[in-house]
Amino acid sequence: MSINISQEHLDYCSSITMSFVWNAFSDRQQTTILKPLREGICRRSNCTTSMIAQALAKTMEIPLIRVAKWNVKIPLNVGVEHPVWEAVKNHLQMGKVILPQYSERLEDDLQNLNAIVEKLKGGKEITLTNRKWRTGEEFPIDYYSCNLQFEHQDFSNKLFTQFKKDLVFPVKIKPEHAEFLNRLEKGEITHLELSIDSSKYNYSDHASLKEDSI
């Protein structure tokens, strides 16, 4: 299940708004949406449930770690005490042993990670950028992205499952946002309005969500 919008439409609009019927999602899908808001981690995907979870997290000011077998995106505001930094560090160190042919690249990733953590510990400002694949234009980002090796056959699925468990960390939710989340869990909110800024490079990172008055 995914949201697919034709480029033919995107060329003529700056934003897109959709209304979702909350009760149309199955209990399992609702859990898939709400669980990341409690644990601070979600699957890195543009599927509908993941996008709604990400939009909710942004609206509720929850830093959400997005993870796939090949990559993890860590918001810089998760805090230096978050276990994600140690989990990624351990993964890179393990990768150097299991995949010696990639040890040089993994060591570079490890050094970059350590530099980020040291700056966070020192309260220093961190400036990171990404590059648009079409134009090569750089733009600022507020997250740290690191490649993972779980897709490699030498890494078992059990290691990836454990890695995701290691990232779970209690999420602090502001009272006003906690009330919204509780109403959603109780089914008191029936419709959700999702707005996408189609002018952004990765629109799933810039979606916002609120209760729809329909």
Which of 56, 77, 54 has the alpha carbon at shortest distance from 142?
77
Give whole-number Cα distances, 141 to 43, 75, 121, 128, 165, in Å.
19, 9, 20, 6, 26
146-184: pLDDT as tens digits? 999 999 999 989 999 999 999 999 898 988 889 988 998
106-116: pLDDT as tens digits? 999 999 999 99
DSSP conformational letter for 89: H
- Dist CA 64 CA 78 (whole Å): 8
Instruction: Write down the domain spans for the chain.
Output: 1-62+171-214, 63-170
Mean pLDDT for all residues in the chain: 87
pLDDT of 201 > 70? The answer is no
Average pLDDT (17-24) is 88
Q: What is the pLDDT of residue 214?
A: 47
